[in-house]
Amino acid sequence: MSGEGRRLPGQADPWRGLRRFTDARIALGRVGGSQPTEAVLDFRLAHAQARDAVHRALDVDALCARLAPLGLPVLRAASRAPDRANYLQRPDLGRVLAPEAAARLAGEPSAGYDVVFVLGDGLSSLAVERHAPSLLEAVLTPLRTQGWCIGPLVVAEQARVALGDEVGQALNASLVVVLIGERPGLSSPDSLGVYLTYAPRPGRLNSERNCISNVRPEGLPCSTAAHKLVYLLAAARSRRLTGVALKDDAPIQIDAGISPTLPDES
């Protein structure tokens, strides 16, 4: 054995200093031919947190209470997936409103909203509960300043992204924004995804949406995500489209404390 790549007892691990830059599992060390007990236990904990995030039910009452100060009506909805097990096994059911929810939304006033926001549990209800209210608060202020007509907030259970298309159409909205929990990773059980679709209607393709991903303090901070979302909303309204034809050309925002601003729509 040449000993290449092996460290002598007491020798510092040259990779360890890089761990402060990432949550990825690097420089875990080893004990003989195995990983250290601490690394093994951390992995099992992260895996358990990811599983819990997928199966955890959305606390609708608590979320609605946090949304109340935003000053918009809050509506409740659900997909055709009757429970979590069906939701995970039948993604198609999560893309369609339950009949009673569709009827309820159809009875709402359709004032020709510029934008409607849908908050769906997706694959991590934890993400929506933790980050969606803060993101909305940061986005609504500049939109109101510019006179946007904003529809009610819709909290949807057992929801997939495409559920927003039906909600947006029912409320006669020009744009729908779906805030939804992303598939948990082993270091990110609470990542929030944001999907923007112009002229929402059932049958829209994913290529017709824009996505802002990994919204959370350890990923893309809410203030930065709000900056991007407000920019994309204004650009989408101006160009009357979303998706692959709409690029995120928003100026890079390094200071997370800067309030989002609207671009010139002229």
The annotated binding site for adenosylcob(III)alamin is made up of 161, 182, 211
- Helix (H) or strand (E) run with residue 180 in it: strand 175-181
Residue 244's alpha-carbon distances to 18, 84, 196, 227, 248, in angstroms, are 35, 32, 12, 19, 10
| Cα–Cα distance measured from residue 264 to residue 196, given in angstroms and rounded to the nearest whole number | 19
- Per the DSSP assignment, residues forming a β-bridge with 220 are 215
Q: Which residues are annotated as a binding site?
A: 161, 182, 211
User: Could you give the C-alpha distances from 16 to 28, 39, 106, 198, 265, in angstroms and in order?
Assistant: 8, 13, 57, 46, 48
* Other Cβ atoms within 10 Å of 230 Cβ, number: 24
